[in-house]
Every structure is written in structure tokens, then in C-alpha cells.
Amino acid sequence: MATGKSTIGARIAAGVGVPFLDTDALLAQRSGKSIGELFASDGEARFREREAELVLPMLSDLSPRVIALGGGTVTMPRVRHALLERCTLVTLTAAPETVVARVSSLRKRPNLWALSPLDRARDLLSVRHSAYAESHALVATEGQTPKQIAERVIDVAGLDTLVMPLGTRSYVVELANDEPSRLAAALAELNPSSLLVVTDQNVVAARAQWLDAALEGVGVARHTVVIKAGEVSKTLATVARIWDEALLHGLDRDAVVLAFGGGVVGDLAGFAASTLLRGIRCVQVPTSLLAMVDSSVGGKTGFDHAAGKNLIGSFFQPNRVVVDVEHLSTLPKRERAAGLAEVVKIALVRSVDVLEQLEAAAEAIACGDRAALRSVVRSAIALKINLVRDDERENGSRALLNLGHTVGHALESQGEYTRLLHGEAVAIGTCVELAATERMGLSAPGLAARARLLFERLGLPTKASPDELGSAWPFVLSDKKRSVAGLKLPVVTTAGHGAVVRVTVEHLRRAVLLS
Ligand code: GLY
């Protein structure tokens, strides 16, 4: 809002040689009225509709352009979300005093015509604060030359980032390719007082050099907790070790917990961060495929209990996620395949395009082809972001991500977390649940066979014997998705479309044991 976006936008466009569009100028040109006249004659609601009608069609053309938006355009969630999905959205910021000083020479800003410009600017910025926070970057304009601001925006546009839009808790998920400097840059922005790194023995053996390169120039105290690798560590005792280490070194509220590892490390570190000093910042750096595509994004944290997996935890969003696909180069093939199970799962319930992408490139993906993997990692994260954006606390559509997890978790628990990797259990669970729900008339016919074939091509197990399913069944009874009203179970109504239905545990048991 009055932060110089038209000037800066034009400068960037000229600098990189692409067209420049200014939506205020276009609206004025189309209507033959100034923005102030339009706003006054239409009223705000109609004015916003005009902006949406202008901006949304622009987004179907993905050729490079710079667009300066009106200050209120991003207050419409559907416009903001579309911009975040298809463009790099940068918010230029300035203090209310600066906005007012600039606006006095820009009398056309309609929202600032009120008699107390400073109070009006404060009100508007406060109302818009949460919408403005949902962007690929906030770039401060005060004390910066137009050249510096333009360079910063161009740098942001050159990164491969996705945004989890959760108001003032929004964060960026950045994809990189052997670039430890990206983590260093993220930490520099967060400016922590100290770092608590949580990692595991396998990750230290394979990836310590990458982390050392990233943290080399980060000039703050670093403390490290190295846990034993695997689900066996996902306990309260390990959380207590992290708490002890943090408190022993006097971590304060400006410290950052850095999760460097797979799903177990990420969930434990996230939970510790959510409880230390009632919550300190957390950066997730996933090193397994499963953590990249699923657990590092979305804020689920916690640990296992003797009664079942992930029964204790919190929703606590990280402040940044840095996904460097180079970590996949040292990931054992079995672990890579396990991560792919979560990608298939989200494609089954949310995107036939991604499902077809997986089917078209299954062998390349299974062999670890870097470009193919990066592409599916990106697709899976984008799908997950949309689910979490719309249902952070899993009251509705986020539960689709539990496809295959009711039976999968039961199989994992029954194998004492050592027989199957989580992704392997999810692959088997998805096949078993889809076959059962097809039998119950809830999932589309043929999908269980389609999913089974894809999992097999990706090198994943797909079957459990009736004995295994029978002995795993008691663990379904402690599933956290169960309530007196029944079990919330994701089904797939057509490829790429899931729904969550409620079934009784007994109904499901009969269908599972028949399949
Ligand atoms: N891993 C499932 C979720 O984040 O909801």
C-alpha cells in the first residue's frame, strides 16, 4: 500500500526485459474513471470484484511479466491464493508514517481520503497485515534505494519457493539443489540467538558436510542432539533429551530449533520447539523423501505411545522449510521408495494429473532420477499446502491425507516399528483400505488395482496376509481418527478425488478381512 510498487514494478520489468502491467492503471483505463472515482461510485465490494475480474484471467498466461497490484487486491482470499499458486507474490512494506508521507503526494489513493490519514493508514495496515504476510517475501522499502528493492525482488523471483498461507504464521517452503547457502540465507533472515540442531546418526553419517557448509557462516552458538535413527526413537524420552539440551544451554525465545533429518527427527524437533518456553521457532530441513513431501510441511508434530503411533503431539507450524533434493542422493533406495508412497497417496485423493505424472515416470522416479524426483516432490508439496491451508487442524479435508494410514499405522505398530518403514505400511494400508472400501461401495472400482500396480512399479510392498491383518487389528481400536461415532476413513471416489466418510470399525474389519 503506497510502498512504491508501480515505480519498483516498472523498474524490475525494464531491468529484466519483460512487460509491466499496473492493475490500477488498467482499471482506470478500462472504466474511463480514476481509481478514486471508481471506488467512490462502486463501493469497495464492487471495486474488489472488478479487480478480481481483471487479475484472475491474467493468471492463465504464465509468460514472464511484472504486475503491480492495488493495495487491497490481495485481501480477497481467492485472488491471493491464485497469485501464490501461479506467481511470485512479493509484498513491499512501509510503516504507516511513511505510507502517509508518500500518499500526501498521491491523492488518488482512495482509502486514505479520511480526515486522519495516519490513523486510517494504521487501520488499513492492521486489517491487511495477515493477508500481506501471505507472500513469497516481505521486502522492506524504508532506507532502501529503488535499485536495492528491485534487486531483492528479482532475487526472490529467482528462487523456487512455495508458500504455506496461514496469515501471520505463513512460511516459505524452498526447493534447492545442493545449495547449503539457501539454509544459511533462511537462518540469516530469522536472525536466531542460538541454534539447537536435532538430527540422527544416519543423517550425520551421510549429510553432516552439507549441514556444516550451511552453518559455517551462521555466527551463533550451535548445540546438537543426535538421536538413534528410526521410529524406536519417537518417544517421550527422546523429547526429554531435546528439552534437557535446550535448557542446559539456556536457549532463549529467540533461539531456533533446526530439524535436520527424516520424519521422526522432524516430528520430535517440532514438538520440542512447540513446548520449549511455550514455543520457539523451528526450521525443518527434511533429508528423507517422506519428510520432504509430507511430514516437514503442515505442522504436525509429536511422538508415539505404547498405545499407538503419533498419539501425543501438537499442531505447530515451522517458520521455514528448506528442501534440498541433493539429500536424496545418499538416501537408501528402500527409504526413497517409502517416501513415494505418500506422493501416490496425495495424488490419489487430490490430483489425477499428479497420479498420471507418477504413472508416466514411475521407473525414472524409482531409480532416483533427480529431475523426475524434484518434480514430484514439488507437486506433492503444492497439493499438501492447499489441504493444510484450507484445514490446518484436520477438521475436514486434511483427513484425506490419512488414506492408508488406519491400516498402515496398525501394521507398523504390530511390527513394533521395525518390520516395515512408515511408507511401506502406508502403501500396503492404501491397497488394503481401497480394496475394502471398493467392496463397501465407497471407493471407485478399479482404483485399488491401479494403486497396487503403481506402488509395485515404485518398488513398494502392497500386500499383508490375513494373519498379519488379523493380528494388527487391535491397533485400529486405538487409532486417533476413531471416535464413538465411528472411524473417519478417506476413500477415493474417482482418481484424484477423495472424500472422508465415517464407517464403523466392525464394518471396516469385515471388508478388510475379506479383501
Ligand atoms: N501427514 C499427514 C498430515 O500432515 O496431515
> 248-272 burial by CB neighbour count: b if 16+ within 10 A, else e?
eeebeeebbbbbbbbbbbbbbbbbb
CB 412 within 8 A of CB 389: no
Output DSSP code: residue 194: E
Do 267 and 314 sit in the same domain of this protein?
A: yes
Q: What is the pTM of this model?
A: 0.94
Active site residues: 278, 300, 342, 384, 394, 398, 402, 405, 409, 422
Q: How far apart are CA 331 and CA 436, in angstroms?
A: 33
Do 260 and 302 sit in the same domain of this protein?
A: yes
Per-residue pLDDT of 7-30, as tens digits, reads 999 999 999 999 999 999 999 999
Do 398 and 420 sit in the same domain of this protein?
A: yes
Q: How far apart are CA 401 and CA 350, in angstroms?
A: 9
CA end-to-end span of the chain, whole Å?
59
Do 173 and 154 sit in the same domain of this protein?
A: no
Judge whether 336 lies within some domain.
Answer: no
Q: Which residue has a Cα nearest atom 2 of ligand 1?
A: 401
Per-residue pLDDT of 195-239, as tens digits, reads 999 999 999 999 999 999 999 989 999 999 999 999 899 999 999
Judge whether 342 lies within some domain.
Answer: no
CB 287 within 8 A of CB 295: no
- Ligand 1, CB within 6 Å, residue ranges: 294-295, 298, 300, 398, 401
Closest residue by Cα to residue 200 from 105, 273, 267:
267
Mutate to test the pocket of ligand 1, among 173, 264, 386, 398 (most ligand atoms within 8 A of CB): 398
> 455-479 burial by CB neighbour count: b if 16+ within 10 A, else e?
bbebbbbbebeeebbeebbebbebb
Mutate to test the pocket of ligand 1, among 264, 288, 292, 295 (most ligand atoms within 8 A of CB): 295
Query: Phi, psi at residue 412, to the nearest 5°?
Result: -65, -45
- Domain of residue 130, CATH code: 3.40.50.300
Q: How far apart are CA 495 and CA 479, in angstroms?
A: 26
Give 491's strand partners. 499
Amino acid identity at 236: L
Domain end among 115, 137, 158 = 158
Percent of the chain beyond pLDDT 90?
82
CA of 291 to the centre of ligand 1 (A): 10
- Closest atom, ligand 1, to C-alpha of 294: 1
Q: Which residue has a Cα nearest atom 3 of ligand 1?
A: 401
Amino acid identity at 485: A
CB 56 within 8 A of CB 82: yes
CA of 404 to the centre of ligand 1 (A): 12
Per-residue pLDDT of 246-277, as tens digits, reads 999 999 999 999 999 999 999 999 999 999 99
Do 253 and 131 sit in the same domain of this protein?
A: no
Output DSSP code: residue 69: P
Do 365 and 249 sit in the same domain of this protein?
A: no
**By residue range, what is the domain housing residue 292?**
168-331
